[in-house]
């Protein structure tokens, strides 16, 4: 019995720890070396597995960057800029529509200074930082340092430890690589259906059938031929990974020069597919490889594969180039995975038909349809290439490719593609389309359906399915949805799209901080805890607290995928008082609203620090997103909930809280403390 009680006690304690965890994924240590008046300050961060620490330089509108703050910088002069080791990894984040950089595993920041006085000097300050993993983010956190420097002493080193806490997931996920592998595989299949490649299948099979020797040996050579194709392309991907790996990823993904080069490359490939010119390799290279293939055996099979790669370059080059360009700014595995997926699909038919030549009888004959495939790929190259121009445009604020301009170009491109599929638009190398086949008709229907989907985006529709490829909503000049929401807030008459927003009951009063903080999907609510709780008591409604942040990617994912669900949105709009508490907002509060933390004893002077401390001290959690449901007496209605992109459990979460609130409202006795 005692063992059972002990086991239950451990289980209960573990459960409490699970739901009351203060995450500390980043640990800082500080070292300094000095030689006379010259000193080197070293800031070292150890990052837990699966977490990442944001870079010291990030574009505006994204998460909080890592920054070093000195209490008194008049005591010394800076010698050079802050250096970083290793160089951070760069990834395009679709939620912020920005290129962001971060550190994994560890980071070392180094700052050289020159003291102004020969006397002993204390250089104090703090490092502000934010970290995230796959599921959650921590709020901006400070790690304090104090370097005790003595210019009169011999060369010294001082070490001090300062554990810290961290907070959006830009970390490469296996799911992303698998999806990229799948897309690359599809690209390999598409490359087979081009005029440079498809006619070579029977020629290749004939080569192996007439190579002499036993059937077993011919099949061995055919299998090695397929393996060689995969090896050649994968080696290309590996070389790209080495040359354009993580060290160059940030520059490739954010600087205007490579993005404009990539844009020009995509346009060049598109024009080539349209038949304006052909991209070919030097003939001597192809002839030399073809001559080596005549030797036969395994070596001959390898050079036969190399000859295929070289001869088909004018059709496969743009596709291979597109894959490599898409992966050059990503993690080191991406170009390798991309080339492996492409070559696997590309080699498959050649190998299978060489092994089973009887299947050749079932192949369709070559014809004008092959050139049509090439032209269709050209339209896609044209559309996808705009993304690189858009990245440069956003990063440098040129404002030449705002969201509605981008969408307008896409609409025109895919309308023309639809007309081409119907035979209403022809290029120089196209055959006469006497009638529209069923496959072409189906593709045309899909294309025009996509165009119809794009059109509402011209008036501000979010187009969530492709939002990662579009410029941010904030660049849209005419957002009809936002205009209607503004009219509703101002009490102006409106007729269009009024049902969704006007169904919400009036909030009690104008929300504090509402001039710069907003809720998604036209929801009305508060950004101040006390103001929201007062409205809850006045309207006799439960409270939905959203601990969130400007730099919280997972918060944006929850809002886009879960909050947008009609069931969730209806409940938030009509049954709860919504309070969004931003834990990273930098707005300075009036001195009367400053608080002294019971957690770390520091005075919290900004809106973000106040509510980050509130989350830690009240709920023993410092990760976002984090959702808490309370009654008017500030008692928990149900166990709080964190990141979960499944809308069904979230609906159950809201319904359970609403049922408990109604139960308590009907009860004459106050809720017990056990609910907390």
The helix (run of H) or strand (run of E) holding residue 377 is helix 368-395
Q: What is the rounded CA–CA span in Å between residue 568 and residue 565?
A: 5
Q: Report residue 28 as tokens.
A: 């800082």
Q: What is the rounded CA–CA span in Å between residue 321 and residue 377?
A: 13
Predicted local distance difference test score (pLDDT) of residue 173: 45
Q: Report residue 449 as tokens.
A: 């359906």
Listing DSSP states for 298-357 in one string gives HHHHHHHHHHHHHHTHHHHHHHHHHHHHHHHTS-THHHHHHHHHHHHHHHHHHHHHHH-G
Taking only the tens place, the pLDDT of each residue in 395-425 is 565 778 888 899 999 999 999 999 999 989 9
Predicted local distance difference test score (pLDDT) of residue 2: 41
Residue 226's nearest CA partner among 63, 355, 418, 66 is 355
Q: What is the rounded CA–CA span in Å between residue 585 and residue 548?
A: 10
Q: Report residue 287 as tokens.
A: 């002839």
Q: Report residue 533 as tokens.
A: 């709780």
Q: What is the rounded CA–CA span in Å between residue 32 and residue 39?
A: 7
Q: Report residue 233 as tokens.
A: 């392309």
CB 200 within 8 A of CB 286: no
Predicted local distance difference test score (pLDDT) of residue 631: 92
Predicted local distance difference test score (pLDDT) of residue 484: 57
Q: What is the pLDDT of the chain when averaged over all its residues?
A: 76
CB 281 within 8 A of CB 310: yes
Residue 396, CB-side half-sphere exposure with 13 Å CA sphere: 15
Helix axes 313-328, 174-192, angle to 10 degrees: 170
The domains located in the chain, with CATH, are 18-163 (2.60.40.1250), 174-364 (no CATH), 517-675 (3.40.30.10)
Predicted local distance difference test score (pLDDT) of residue 89: 84
Taking only the tens place, the pLDDT of each residue in 18-68 is 334 567 889 899 988 888 888 899 999 999 888 889 998 887 667 788 989
Predicted local distance difference test score (pLDDT) of residue 42: 92
Taking only the tens place, the pLDDT of each residue in 592-604 is 999 998 887 889 9
Predicted local distance difference test score (pLDDT) of residue 318: 62
For the purposes of burial, counting CB atoms within 10 Å of the CB of 87, is it exposed (0-12), middle (13-18) or buried (19 or more)? middle
Helix axes 333-355, 200-209, angle to 10 degrees: 60
Q: What is the rounded CA–CA span in Å between residue 439 and residue 454?
A: 23
Residues of the chain with pLDDT under 50: 1-20, 154, 158-174, 246-250, 329-330, 488-490, 492-503, 669-676
């Amino acid at each position: 019995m005692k063992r059972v009680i002990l086991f239950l006690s451990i289980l209960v304690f573990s459960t409490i720890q699970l739901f009351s965890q203060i995450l500390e994924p980043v640990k800082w240590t500080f070292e300094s070396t000095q030689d006379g008046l010259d000193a080197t300050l070293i800031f070292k961060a150890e990052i837990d597995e699966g977490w990442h620490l944001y870079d010291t330089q990030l574009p505006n509108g994204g998460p909080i960057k890592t920054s070093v703050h000195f209490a008194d910088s008049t005591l010394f002069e800076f010698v050079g800029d802050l250096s970083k080791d290793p160089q951070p990894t760069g990834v395009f984040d679709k939620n912020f529509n920005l290129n962001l950089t971060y550190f994994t595993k560890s980071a070392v920041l180094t700052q050289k200074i020159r003291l102004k006085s020969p006397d002993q000097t204390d250089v104090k300050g703090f490092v502000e930082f934010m970290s995230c993993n796959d599921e959650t983010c921590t709020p901006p956190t400070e790690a304090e340092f104090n370097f005790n420097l003595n210019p009169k002493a011999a060369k010294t080193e001082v070490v001090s430890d300062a554990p810290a806490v961290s907070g959006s997931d830009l970390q490469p996920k296996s799911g992303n690589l698998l999806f990229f592998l799948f897309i690359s595989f599809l690209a390999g299949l598409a490359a087979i259906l081009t005029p440079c490649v498809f006619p070579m299948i029977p020629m290749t099979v004939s080569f192996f059938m007439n190579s002499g020797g036993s059937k077993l040996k011919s099949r061995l050579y055919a299998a090695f031929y397929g393996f060689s194709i995969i090896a050649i392309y994968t080696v290309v991907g590996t070389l790209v990974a080495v040359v354009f790996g993580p060290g160059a990823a940030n520059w490739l993904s954010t600087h205007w020069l490579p993005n404009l080069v990539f844009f020009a490359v995509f346009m060049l490939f598109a024009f080539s597919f349209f038949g304006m010119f052909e991209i070919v390799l030097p003939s001597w290279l192809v002839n030399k490889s073809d001559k080596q293939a005549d030797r036969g055996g395994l070596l001959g099979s390898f050079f036969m594969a190399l000859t295929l790669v070289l001869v088909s370059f004018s059709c496969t080059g743009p596709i291979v180039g597109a894959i490599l360009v898409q992966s050059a700014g990503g993690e080191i595995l991406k170009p390798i995975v991309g080339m492996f997926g492409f070559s696997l699909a590309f080699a498959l038919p050649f190998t299978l038909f060489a092994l089973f030549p009887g299947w050749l009888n079932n192949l369709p004959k070559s014809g004008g349809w092959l050139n049509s495939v090439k032209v269709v790929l050209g339209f896609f190259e044209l559309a996808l290439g705009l993304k690189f121009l858009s990245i440069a445009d956003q990063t440098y604020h040129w404002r030449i490719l705002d969201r509605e301009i981008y969408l307008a170009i896409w609409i025109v491109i895919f309308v023309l593609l639809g007309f081409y599929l119907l035979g209403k638009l022809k290029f120089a190398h196209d055959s006469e389309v006497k009638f529209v086949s069923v496959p072409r008709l189906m593709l045309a229907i899909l294309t025009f359906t996509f165009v119809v989907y794009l059109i509402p985006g011209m008036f501000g529709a979010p187009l969530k399915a492709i939002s990662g490829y579009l410029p941010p909503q904030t660049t849209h000049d005419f957002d009809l949805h936002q205009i209607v929401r503004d009219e509703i807030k101002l009490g102006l008459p409106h007729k269009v799209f009024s049902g969704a927003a006007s169904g919400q009951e009036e909030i009690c009063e104008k929300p504090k901080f509402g001039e710069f903080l907003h809720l998604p999907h036209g929801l009305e609510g508060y950004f101040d805890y006390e103001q929201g709780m007062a409205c809850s008591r006045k309207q006799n409604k439960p409270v939905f607290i959203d601990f969130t942040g400007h730099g919280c990617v997972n918060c944006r994912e929850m809002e886009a995928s879960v909050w947008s669900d009609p069931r969730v949105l209806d409940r938030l709009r009509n049954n709860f008082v919504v309070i969004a508490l931003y834990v990273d907002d930098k707005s300075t509060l009036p001195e009367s609203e400053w608080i002294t933390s019971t957690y770390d004893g520091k005075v919290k002077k900004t809106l973000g620090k106040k509510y980050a401390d509130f989350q830690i001290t009240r709920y023993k959690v410092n990760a976002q997103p984090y959702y808490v449901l309370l009654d008017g007496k500030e008692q928990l209605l149900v166990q709080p909930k964190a990141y979960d992109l499944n809308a069904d459990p979230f609906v159950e979460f809201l319904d359970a809280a609403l049922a408990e609130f109604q139960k308590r409202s009907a009860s004459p006795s106050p809720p017990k403390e056990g609910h907390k």
